[in-house]
Amino acid sequence: MLEKDIEKTFYSEQQIQERVAVLGKEISREYQDKFPLVVGILKGAVPFLSDLVRAMPIHMEMDFMDVSSYGNATVSSGEVRILKDLSTVVEGRHIILVEDIIDSGRTLKYLVDLLKHRKAASVKIVTMLDKPEGRVVDMAADYVGFEVPNEFVVGYGLDYAEDYRNLPYIGVLKPEIYENA
């Protein structure tokens, strides 16, 4: 079971759901007459996007993109590769980019630049978590669920080796989970 691998909970399921409801209301107010294109960044954003859009009772369209960083962590090229592109034309659209976390900021920097290049009418960012200490490039979200310290968090979309994404809350793994890997 997943539970037994978690050392501590950062944000409980209830805290997350309450925050998502507030964010959904705020964002809906801004976009109610704009038919936004809500873009989820695979795979981490899926649980958050799924809850967020159901807290937004407005007309919208949804699409997804999958991107991956080039190279390893020691290379700070900031290059990003598109694994799956949008199937929607971006020109003239109001885009809401949905992420689970902003860390270095590279993924979103690349995506915002790309969508502006494709002539989006506007691009805004909503992220469940913001890890300001991780920032390498200048990037700020328009809507943030919670801030997290510089720790490796899992759950609610966030993975460790592709595992734990389906945990309904956000927590930190026990050290032995990494040690045994």
Where in the sequence numbering do the catalytic residues fall? 103
CA distance 96 to 165: 22
* Residue 57, φ and ψ in degrees, nearest 5: -80, 55
Work out the end-to-end distance of the chain between its first and last CA atoms, rounded to an integer number of angstroms. Answer: 17
- Neighbouring CB atoms inside 10 A of 75's CB total 10
CA distance 5 to 166: 13
Cβ within 8 Å of residue 35, ≥6 positions away: 59, 60, 61, 94
The smaller minimum CB distance to Mg ion, of residues 3 and 162, is found at 162
Using CB under 5 A as the criterion, what x/- string covers residues 25-64 for binding Mn ion? -------------------x--------------------
The one among 100, 125, 143, 171 contacting ligand PRP by CB under 6 A: 100
CA distance 12 to 56: 21
Q: Which stretch binds Mg ion (CB under 5 A): 56-64, 72-80, 159-167, 173-181?
A: 159-167
Using CB under 6 A as the criterion, what x/- string covers residues 39-58 for binding ligand PRP? --xxxx--------------
Residues 173 and 6: beta-carbon distance below 8 Å: yes
Residue 127 binding result from ligand PRP, Mg ion, Mn ion, none, given CB thresholds of 5 to 8 Å by partner type: none
The smaller minimum CB distance to Mn ion, of residues 101 and 172, is found at 101
Q: Which stretch binds Mg ion (CB under 5 A): 49-57, 138-146, 155-163, 166-174?
A: 155-163
**Site residues (vs ligand PRP, CB under 6 A):** 41-44, 68-69, 99-107, 159
**Site residues (vs Mg ion, CB under 5 A):** 159
